[in-house]
Structure 1
Amino acid sequence: MDELHPLRCLVAAVDAGSFTGAAKTLGVSQPAVSQKVKSLELAYGQTLLIRNRAGVQPTMAGQVAYGFGQKIGQALDEMRVELDSLQGTISGHIRITAGQSLSQTYLGEVVIALKAQHRDLKVDLVISDALIDLEKDNVDFAIRFGSPGQGRGIGRKIGVVQSVLAATPAYLDRAGRPHSPRELQNLDFIQYRDDTEQAMVAVTYEGQNLSVPVTPSLTADHPNLIAHALEKGLGFTKAPLYFVQNFLDSGVYEEVLPGCRPVPKPLYLVQREEVHNTARAKLFQEVLIEKLATAPGISISPDLRRMG
């Protein structure tokens, strides 16, 4: 028996909660869906769906069949996407997650470039500083600072990110410019809520790595809120160089204690195992590396830079 179509009918019925809903999804008649599921039950000798006035519900055997049906359907869809890529058409669906500052800047450019090159490719950008579980949340790619995180997924270090200590000149005129790292604690520190460093900043200064105490006076959970607090002269902050370079160049911000910079953080690309080495994964990595290589303060690994 050809089991692929009956399995698709089973999956559609469970997802829709009824044979009628499954028929609309598949573009066939309701009796055809019912008949295909019945043939599957006869082939395996088990009841897979319980039919009642409320619709259909899977039995334990039905849940097993549903799980395998989903995987088979996804594999067939993936095969179709990969076959299309051999003809130069990149399609399918990818979900990307990254923190707020990168998503608002260079990752947004990556998404636009992907869509401009391949109209059939569907791209979702999940903006979150949390370490999202790729499998649980069905996310294909994560760009992370500091650590690749835990759980399933193929992680690779693709570079390092340099941050900077910044404030407005007006604030430093009023509060005083520090002459050594320990004088940083005399200034008001604007803390990013999800930063793992609390009341301390790891910096490099005169060839040494130091852990410098700071005095948090305000905690914000969004980069734009921190930028607004800086503009109001409420203190200084630690920010990725790619996020503030334009403000430094224009004189809106000033680097606090030049020569004293936060210790660079490694930059990781984590991929869900199911999409690793697919055509769209290779495309995403190429475009990502190309865009990040132009970002101030982001140093891409030499072997990957040659790919971009």
Structure 2
Amino acid sequence: MDLIAAFKTFVRVAETESFSAAAREFNIGQPAVSKQIAALEDHLGTRLLQRSTRKLTLTDEGMEFLAHARDAIAATDEAIEQARGRRGRVAGVLRMTASASFGRMHIVPRLHLLGARFPELRVDLVLQDRLVDMVSQGIDLAIRFGEPREPNLIAKRLGTMRMIVVASKSYLDRRGRPEHPEDLKNHDCLVFGGMQDTDQWSFTKNGKIIQVGVNWRVRADNSDALRQAVLDGLGIGMMPSWLFPDLWENDELETMLDDYEKATMPMYAVYPSRRYTPAKVRAMIDFLEHEISLDPTMTGGIGLV
């Protein structure tokens, strides 16, 4: 019996709560997965999974064994790399997730640089705006905004998400330019629908907080849609500066209220906690940290007049 292979199968079954999902990942039939798990349980002399017609759950023994199985897999991978003299070699498939907009604008355009540096690395991108369960989806690395809360994840800060108030010049020529946050009440505003209170915009000046309830014309839960609404002159948006990487070169855009402070949010690279961090994960984090440090939309204040 190949114990490491059985460990890997058990871990993915436990994480996905599905024999069929694990079978698809390993490109084998579901009966083979079931047989492998049954053989592992016989070998250990204990039941790891509780099966029913509608649900698959871990037994108490299975929950305890899951942590040991993950450690064993990581230790095996590290031992193989050391024995082959490949420790630190960046190769294989890195499964990574980020929001659709951030991935399209800031990860995909840099992949050619990454490929030139690490030709043996393949990147499997999962780009979607909803939060992905890293463990159940088999994700190696995630880019997230805001303070991470999952205790089983390690976070490395990469940069800062800064907010700007932005509109097209065609809209501003038509409706006027707000000079004070309160002026926004007389404008069409574009708000993100994926969070609470996104129609309440906060500004700070000289230590004084100004909270403005804006009238929204378009609300969307997709950043690309809101960016396009700004470009089309539908209104004023308070959006992350990284959504407009071409801000300085775009003669059709204008920022306003630049002398007021807006909200900021930390950006993190997040990965599962484990004793052994794969070289491919470390390499991607170092690469992104360097690239983001050179990007003014994520490292410094920006504005146009």
SS of residue matched to 2:281: helix
In structure 2, what is the equivalent of residue 178 of structure 1?
178
In structure 2, what is the equivalent of residue 106 of structure 1?
106
Task: Call closer, same or farther: CA 1:243–1:84 in 2, change over 3 Å.
Answer: farther
Unaligned runs of 5+ residues in structure 1 are 49-59, 301-308
Q: Does 1:8 align with 2:2?
A: no
| Distance in 2 between residues matched to 1:70 and 1:231, nearest whole Å | 48
Which structure 2 residues correspond to residues 185-264 of structure 1 after superposition, within 5 A?
185-206=185-206, 208-264=208-264
How far apart are residue 206 of structure 1 and its match?
A: 4.8
How far apart are residue 103 of structure 1 and its match?
A: 1.0
Unaligned runs of 5+ residues in structure 2 are 14-18, 49-58, 301-305
Report if the CA contact (8 A) 1:166-1:239 is conserved: yes
Task: Give the TM-score normalised by the residue count of structure 2.
Answer: 0.72
In structure 1, what is the equivalent of residue 155 of structure 2?
155
| Distance in 2 between residues matched to 1:10 and 1:265, nearest whole Å | 39
How far apart are residue 110 of structure 1 and its match?
A: 4.6
| Distance in 1 between residues matched to 2:280 and 2:83, nearest whole Å | 12
SS of residue matched to 1:204: strand
Task: Call closer, same or farther: CA 1:71–1:200 in 2, change over 3 Å.
Answer: same
RMSD of Structure 2 on Structure 1 (CA)? 4.2
SS of residue matched to 1:130: coil
- Percentage of pairs with the same residue: 23
Task: Call closer, same or farther: CA 1:78–1:193 in 2, change over 3 Å.
Answer: farther
| Distance in 2 between residues matched to 1:157 and 1:6, nearest whole Å | 37
Report if the CA contact (8 A) 1:85-1:279 is conserved: no
Larger Rg: 1
The one-letter amino acid paired with 1:8 is: A
In structure 2, what is the equivalent of residue 296 of structure 1?
296
SS of residue matched to 1:247: coil
The one-letter amino acid paired with 1:235 is: G
User: 1:208-257 CA distances to partner (integer Å, 9 max, x unpaired)?
Assistant: 44322211111123233223222322101122223214234322111123
Which structure 2 residues correspond to residues 45-84 of structure 1 after superposition, within 5 A?
72-73=72-73, 75-81=75-81
In structure 2, what is the equivalent of residue 94 of structure 1?
94
The one-letter amino acid paired with 1:102 is: F
SS of residue matched to 1:250: coil
How far apart are residue 193 of structure 1 and its match?
A: 2.1
Instruction: Give the number of equivalent residue pairs.
Output: 277
| Distance in 1 between residues matched to 2:223 and 2:40, nearest whole Å | 57
| Distance in 2 between residues matched to 1:10 and 1:145, nearest whole Å | 33
User: 1:184-208 CA distances to partner (integer Å, 9 max, x unpaired)?
Assistant: 1211111122244421112233554
How far apart are residue 181 of structure 1 and its match?
A: 0.9
SS of residue matched to 2:294: coil
Task: Call closer, same or farther: CA 1:77–1:289 in 2, change over 3 Å.
Answer: same
